[in-house]
């Protein structure tokens, strides 16, 4: 019996005349993700990617990797049979023996994409259902079954699996179909989730982190690298730009009113991130703000912060509450790292009473006390680029 992986995509099917380009990017992303995992053969037909893994022991690992590839909706291990009803019966009996144990109920659903197959879908269901009912101590229940057995008659063969054994994919669009953006990546919960969400739309990301040594430790830097490596499981390699931010924060602390410190600090971050974005041919910045979550995320505060950016600022979390963000962080695997107790630069010199409804003119007047351009140039000159890979 041969086992195969059927990976089905979603949105790509809507791309009309551009569909082939999206499919080619998806196939290339799958090759890159699996290249070091297993030897395999792959082909695409009928909105499905067929992956035949040479070593059956590596099937689980291949499914796990494919479940992190944007563009795929479901990934399913299935048994392959000849397009012959007797072979389909035998293969189904062998493949599903662990699913159809005593006390479980099942139903059979069939899809006949190959209209040349002599039996129609209802006839396939009756044949396979009757055979499995005779072979196993389980029983048929078409209304509320424990297992739904799927039979797909396709161009290359017949495929058998249970719905309950499907693995959910990431959905969205393949990385590389949506240009590039630069993520402002802190060590917190929100920004990694924002990076994952924008990547889901096919956007390739690099990342910028602001590091305030010695006020933030080497462990804090390692934490951000770890977060980037978790994101890289979904996006492939991420170039992480670590910007020395200590001198800027000291200058803000020494020359600006306390209530303005956070907003002026964030304006510096946006300016620096934009310089890096343009150098790396990014078309937008990505941040993790959610309206009203903290003082610097009121609409008026966001207006003041984003005013210094001369490119789009994408904020995919903008309408989410903290619980929703945490749920996504847990799901994508960043939460446990994000809550490690190593402070990032955003918690350094935090004012006790930051302004929540700033006036842009007042912030600009305060900011004029600083040599903005010299501080930015010095920070950029000291920036370190780290290539971060999945781990």
CATH of the domain at 359: 3.40.50.620
Sequence length of the chain is 391
The contacts of residue 365 (CB under 8 Å, 6+ apart) are: none
Do 260 and 184 fall within a single domain?
A: yes
pLDDT at 348: 65
Q: Is the peptide bond before 68 cis (omega within 30 degrees of 0)?
A: no
Token couple for 372: 């903005």
Do 231 and 353 fall within a single domain?
A: yes
Residue 174 in any domain: the answer is no
**Alpha-carbon gap, residue 184 to 262, rounded angstroms:** 15
* 385: pLDDT strictly greater than 70: yes
Do 260 and 162 fall within a single domain?
A: no
Number of domains making up the chain: 2
Using alpha carbons, select from 72, 63, 67 the residue that is nearest to residue 3. 63
* Model pTM above 0.75: yes
Judging by DSSP bridges, how do beta strands 105-112 and 147-153 pair with one another? Answer: parallel
Residue 159 in any domain: the answer is yes
Token couple for 132: 């499995």
Domain termination site, one of 109, 140, 168: 168
Q: Is 271 helix (H, G, I), strand (E, B) or coil?
A: helix
Residue 51 in any domain: the answer is yes
Residue 226 in any domain: the answer is yes
Do 9 and 62 fall within a single domain?
A: yes
Do 268 and 218 fall within a single domain?
A: yes
| Lowest-confidence pick of 51-60, 226-235, 294-303, 326-335 | 294-303
- The range of the structural domain enclosing residue 320 comes to 180-388
Q: Let me know: does 123 contact 111? Beta carbons within 8 Å.
A: no
| Beta pairing partners, 205 | 181
Backbone angles phi, psi at 172, to 5 degrees: 75, -150
Do 193 and 131 fall within a single domain?
A: no
pLDDT at 282: 97
Span 209-217, average pLDDT: 88
Q: Is 103 helix (H, G, I), strand (E, B) or coil?
A: coil
pLDDT at 25: 96
Residue 11 in any domain: the answer is yes
* 122: pLDDT strictly greater than 70: yes
Backbone angles phi, psi at 105, to 5 degrees: -110, 160
Residue 175 in any domain: the answer is no
**Alpha-carbon gap, residue 315 to 287, rounded angstroms:** 5
| Lowest-confidence pick of 79-83, 362-366, 372-376 | 362-366
Where residue 48 sits, what CATH number does that domain have?
3.30.2130.30
């Amino acid at each position: 019996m041969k086992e195969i992986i059927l990976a089905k995509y979603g949105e790509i099917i809507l791309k009309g005349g551009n569909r082939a380009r999206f499919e080619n990017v998806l196939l290339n992303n799958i090759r890159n993700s699996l290249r070091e995992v297993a030897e395999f053969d792959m082909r695409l037909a009928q909105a499905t990617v067929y992956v035949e893994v040479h070593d059956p022991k590596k099937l689980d690992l291949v499914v796990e990797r494919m479940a992190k590839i944007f563009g795929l909706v479901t990934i399913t291990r299935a048994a392959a049979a000849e397009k012959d009803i007797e072979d389909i019966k035998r293969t189904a009996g062998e493949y599903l023996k662990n699913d159809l144990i005593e006390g479980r109920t099942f139903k059979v659903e069939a899809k006949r994409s190959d209209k040349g197959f002599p039996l129609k879908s209802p006839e396939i269901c009756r044949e396979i259902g009757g055979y499995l009912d005779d072979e196993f101590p389980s029983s048929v229940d078409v209304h509320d079954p424990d297992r739904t057995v799927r039979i797909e008659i396709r161009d290359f063969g017949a495929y058998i699996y249970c719905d309950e054994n499907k693995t959910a994919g990431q959905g969205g669009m393949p990385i590389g179909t949506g240009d590039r953006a630069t993520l402002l990546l802190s060590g917190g919960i929100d920004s990694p989730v924002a990076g994952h969400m924008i990547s889901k739309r096919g956007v390739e990301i690099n990342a910028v982190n602001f590091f305030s040594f010695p006020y933030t430790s080497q462990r804090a830097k390692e934490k951000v690298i770890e977060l980037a490596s978790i994101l890289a499981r979904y996006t492939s390699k991420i170039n992480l730009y670590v910007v020395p931010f200590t001198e800027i924060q000291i200058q803000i602390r020494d020359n600006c009113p306390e209530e303005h410190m956070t907003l002026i600090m964030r304006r510096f971050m946006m300016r620096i991130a934009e310089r890096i974005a343009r150098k790396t041919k990014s078309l937008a910045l990505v941040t993790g703000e959610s309206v009203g979550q903290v003082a610097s995320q009121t609409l008026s505060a966001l207006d003041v912060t984003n005013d210094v950016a001369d490119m789009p600022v994408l904020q995919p979390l903008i309408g989410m509450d903290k619980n929703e963000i945490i749920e996504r962080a847990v799901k994508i695997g960043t939460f446990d790292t994000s809550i490690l107790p190593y402070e990032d630069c955003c918690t350094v010199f935090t004012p006790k009473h930051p302004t929540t409804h700033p006036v842009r003119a007042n912030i600009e007047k305060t900011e004029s006390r600083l040599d903005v351009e010299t501080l930015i140039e010095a920070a950029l000159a000291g920036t370190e680029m780290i290539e971060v890979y999945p781990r």
